[in-house]
Amino acid sequence: MGRYQDVFDSLNRAAMIPFFVIGDPDTETSLRIVKTAIDAGADILELGIPFSDPVADGPTIQKADIRALKAGMTPQKALAFIAQVSAYKPIPIGLLVYYNLIYQYGVDAFYRDFKQAGGTSVLVADVSIDDAEEIAPAALRAGLETVFMATPNCPDERLQQVVKYTTGFIYTVSLLGTTGERQRFSTLAKPLIQRLKRLTQTPVCVGFGISSPEHARQVAADGANGVIIGSRLVKIIEDNLNDKDQLYCQLQAFLAETLNALKTVQDDTSAN
């Protein structure tokens, strides 16, 4: 367990935030993957509970969801998984879920149990800021922080709503589209980061399409307080399903390289 602000305060660079699907490709391997990421210097973790119909995700994470579901992952088991991660190291954990999963669990009950497992925030992929009242008060009641998405096509009035409801960090979507690797990093991210920075002191973390250490460095240079890397890491899992040692080794190497890239950018625009 940890608070986001403590992390951002303690760094003089952008935070490295790896994303994984809980239980991909199976619970045991998944736990070792997450521990590898922590050991490689992850500052915050972003973890997803697999869903059968992930409309915000591209093919790489869709396949990870299917692997994890086939291996038997459920929301209950995901909470137990999070407790194990927290026991390994008290690192802030943001959760990414689709609404139906927590709706079926019961939003208040889910947030209470997630908090108890050591979690920090829940981002619901298919709830826009218009429906923040359905989830944000429950998160705060449970003692969680809140995270909402900002996208390049959000007008400033909507960004102000996002700012109003966000206590943790603003999950800033770098592009128009689903999650997934991209050859070139989106040119839409920088103007959005700049618009958000004019509106708020709340940390801005950027995700979607960050596919290389160079992309990560660029986002940090554009002023992001954190860099979320998902599909690129999940692709390493997919490519090494038959060689676990290679899997951990490649993940470790990619994250180490990314961390070094982030360290080359001194963050003078941090939230404080």
Partner 1 sequence: MKQKGRYGTYGGFYVPEVLIPAIEEIEAAFLQFQNDASFVAELNALLTHYAGRPTPLYHAQRFSEAAGCSVWLKREDLLHGGAHKTNNALGQGLLAKVMGKKKLIAETGAGQHGLATAMVGALFGMETKIFMGSVDVARQNVNVHKMKLLGAEVIPVSGGTCTLKDAINEAMRYWTANVDAFYLFGTAGGPHPFPMIVRHFQTVIGTEARRQCLDQMGRLPDFVAACVGGGSNAIGIFSAFLDDAAVKLVGVEGGGKGLDSDHHCATLNKGRPGILHGSQTYVLQDEHGQIHDTECISAGLDYPGVGPEHAYLKDTGRASYVAVSDEQVLNAFALLTRLEGIMPALESSHALAWLLAQKGTLPPDIVAVVNLSGRGDKDIGIVEEHRPIN
- Interacting residues with partner 1 (CB under 8 A): 51-58, 62, 69, 74-76, 98-101, 103-105, 125-131, 148-151, 153-155, 158, 162, 173, 175-178
Q: Which is nearer to partner 1, 149 or 261 (CB)?
A: 149
Report residue 242 as tokens: 């038959």
Residue 72 or 143 with smaller CB distance to partner 1 = 72
* Contact between residue 222 and residue 171 where contact means Cβ atoms under 8 Å apart: no
Contact between residue 111 and residue 139 where contact means Cβ atoms under 8 Å apart = yes
Nearer to partner 1, 83 or 125 (CB): 125
Q: How far apart are CA 5 and CA 110, in angstroms?
A: 23
Pick 9 or 53: Cβ nearer partner 1: 53
Sign, CA dihedral 184-187-192-195, equals positive
Contacts of 235 (CB under 8 A, 6+ apart): 60, 181
Q: Helix, strand, coil proportions of the chain in percent (round to 5)? A: 50, 15, 35
For partner 1, the closer of residues 199 and 256 by Cβ is 199
Give, in degrees to the nearest 5, the angle at Cα 37 between 140 and 209: 75
Would residue 28 show up in a list of annotated catalytic residues for this protein? Answer: no
CB 42, min distance to partner 1, A:
25
Query: Is position 57 annotated as part of the catalytic site?
Result: yes
Which of 14, 13, 32, 15 lies closest to 23 in space, CA to CA?
32
The SS3 call for residue 143 is coil
Instruction: Please give the angle made by the CA atoms of 127, 128 and 133, to the nearest 5 degrees.
Output: 80
| Residue 216 to residue 235: CA distance in whole angstroms | 17
Distance of CA 180 to the CA centre of its chain: 13
With tokens 């008060």, the residue in question is 137
Of 57, 65, 145, 267, the active-site residue reads 57
Nearer to partner 1, 1 or 69 (CB): 69
To the nearest whole angstrom, how small is the minimum distance from the Cβ of residue 99 to partner 1? 5
CA pseudo-torsion sign 76, 80, 83, 84 = negative
Which residues belong to the active site? 46, 57
